[in-house]
Amino acid sequence: MTQGAGRTPARRTVLGAAGAAAVLGASTALPTGTAHAAGAGGAAAGGAAGDAADRRTGHGRGYRSLPVPTVIAHRGASGYRPEHTLGSYRHALDLGAHVIEQDLVPTRDGHLVCRHENDITGTTDVADHPEFASRRTTKSVDGTSITGWFTEDFTLAELRTLRAKERIPATRQENTLYDGRWTVPTFEEVLRWAEDEGRRRGREIWLHVETKHPTYFRSLGLGLEERLAKLLRRYGRHRANSPVFLQSFEPSSIQRLAGLVDSPRVVLLSGAGTRPWDFVEAGDPRTVADLVTPEGLRWIASYAQGIGPTLDLVIPKDASGRLTAPTALVRDAHAEGLVLHPYTHRNENAFLPADFRRGTDPTAYGDAFGALGRYLGTGIDGIFSDNPDTALLAAAELDADRV
């Protein structure tokens, strides 16, 4: 079954609800939240009552003014458009997303571009360009051998000749309609776009920006943090109350950014048994399991304002893939003043916990609202979603149940 087959009415209902919310205004349709203590280096000044009021309405200064739960469009509205394109980012805003995510990798001549990975084999039409056939190579990136084409082997001018395409066409066949419509954007282009959209929409456009494989790129002489900080200063997003989050799976990248800009920072956390690659390189034996202890979270709070854990760290799954009981992570992180932005919600059965899948087609939509209700009910501050309209409606329903 192709994407959307047999589910069009449900999808239209979700989109219609999100569209209505956008028309009514964010403060009308978006959920309320309870303010947590400010993290290190960070939250806007003001009393608890004022902070809570700001979070209810989505107005105010800094990240504590965002609605809770905050819906972060994962690589844009990547459930509906090829990821990390201006089309995907713009559609996410149209659906009502509060924050738009960018992943950054460099070109050979040092420009930061928006791709989830430096391997662009699956997200561009590079394989269709015979002039670049000789660039196909095998590299070890963070200990993993990958064969393909890589951004660091292209100048920006060369990369501009490529067109973006859907990364998982077998799952999201409808998105292939948009293959070839957009180029790979630079981060500076996105910053200008955000300024233009902010003027047009009359509000700040929030970004959630990840440094990808920073240790790997620093070893190539293409350090990400200094380039990113320079652009943030140029566009006025380097302050503690700027509408941007900086994120990385490597804590040392966030620590480096903390010394360059005051923008709020988030440490991303993958599986409990994994180690950040900079830890591997430095011989640090700690795993993610160590970082989600109260001691580990206290260490993170000394240089960051939030964490971005995988959803499995919030609610683990059992051997059959069904959700179990929530962990203490939300409580413990909040005790250290950290906000939580877990990843990643998607609507398709293939990405949902087993107890929320419907039917046997992995590409069909399952009970996404049921799963979101469980995750949002833990008290997380936000969630990354490929389908921001679905997440927004689930957040609104959760808020209505609390009244």
Q: Tell me the DSSP string of 309-363.
A: EBHHHHS-B-TTS-B----SHHHHHHHTT-EE--B-B-SBGGGS-GGG--SS-TT
3-state helix, strand, coil in the chain (%, to 5): 40, 15, 45
| Higher-pLDDT residue of 24, 276 | 276
pLDDT, residue 61, reads 82
pLDDT, residue 232, reads 98
pLDDT, residue 108, reads 98
Residue 140 has pLDDT above 60, yes or no: yes
pLDDT, residue 402, reads 75
Average pLDDT, the chain: 89
pLDDT, residue 27, reads 33
Give the residue among 363, 354, 358, 362 at the shortest CA–CA distance from 4: 363
Model pLDDT for residues 324-337, shown as the tens digit of each residue = 999 999 999 999 99
**pLDDT above 90: percentage of residues in the chain:** 83
Dihedral over Cα of 122, 123, 129, 135: its sign: negative
pLDDT, residue 44, reads 35
pLDDT, residue 403, reads 67
Which pair of structure tokens corresponds to residue 230? Answer: 């320079």
Q: Which band of pLDDT confidence, cut at 50, 70 and 90, is reported for residue 238?
A: very high
From 50-54, 168-172, 226-230, the region with the lowest mean pLDDT: 50-54
CA-CA distance, 76 to 68, in Å (whole number)? 19
Asked if 76 and 344 count as a contact pair (C-beta separation under 8 A), the reply is no
Residue 291 has pLDDT above 70, yes or no: yes
Model pLDDT for residues 5-35, shown as the tens digit of each residue = 344 333 333 444 444 344 333 333 333 333 3
| Higher-pLDDT residue of 42, 95 | 95
Dihedral over Cα of 397, 398, 399, 403: its sign: positive
